[in-house]
Amino acid sequence: MKRTVICTVCPNGCEITVDYTTKEDAQVTGYTCKRGIPYAIAECFEPMRTFTSSVKISGSDRRVLPVKTNGPIPKAKLMEAAEALKGIELTVPVAMGDVIVENFLDTGVNLVSAMSL
Ligand code: SF4
């Protein structure tokens, strides 16, 4: 199988091609620097994304607080991540970077506040 991905590690946006039958035999071409290799392989076999959303908050003019993961999580868990926020309701004060959920969905990264309120 041959797949082309756009590397988002830096603004160059290299078009990288991965030719593979298994992860172990993947042939990667089109990258400008070596950082593109693990990115392209991950995109084919275990794509990761930083999750961003919002949760309810009370005690402020704003009704929701923006949150994000402090690292990428498996793309396959994004829907589960959105569902997990439904039961969360915070109260001010919250500082930017405060941990809202530790080890979010057992991914090894935390869900944190993206704003101070
Ligand atoms: S392959 Fe290297 S230079 Fe190209 S977009 Fe990825 S990180 Fe940037």
* 83-91 long-range Cβ contacts below 8 angstroms, 24+ apart: 85/53, 85/54, 85/55, 88/55, 88/56, 89/55, 89/56, 89/57, 89/58, 90/55, 90/56, 90/57, 90/58, 90/65, 91/57, 91/58, 91/59
* Together in a domain, 39 and 56: no
* Together in a domain, 26 and 64: no
Count of domains forming the chain? 2
User: What pLDDT shows up at residue 57?
Assistant: 97
Nearest CA to ligand 1 atom 1: 36
Assign residue 90 the CATH number of its domain. 3.10.530.10
* Together in a domain, 108 and 59: yes
Domain that holds residue 94: 52-113
Task: Render pLDDT for 9-64 as a digit per residue (tens, 0 to 9).
Answer: 999 999 999 999 999 999 999 999 999 999 999 999 999 999 999 999 999 999 99
Q: For the residues 77-101, what does the mean pLDDT come to?
A: 96
* Together in a domain, 58 and 101: yes
* Together in a domain, 88 and 59: yes
Contact residues of ligand 1, CB 6 A cut-off? 7, 9-10, 12-14, 31-33, 35-36
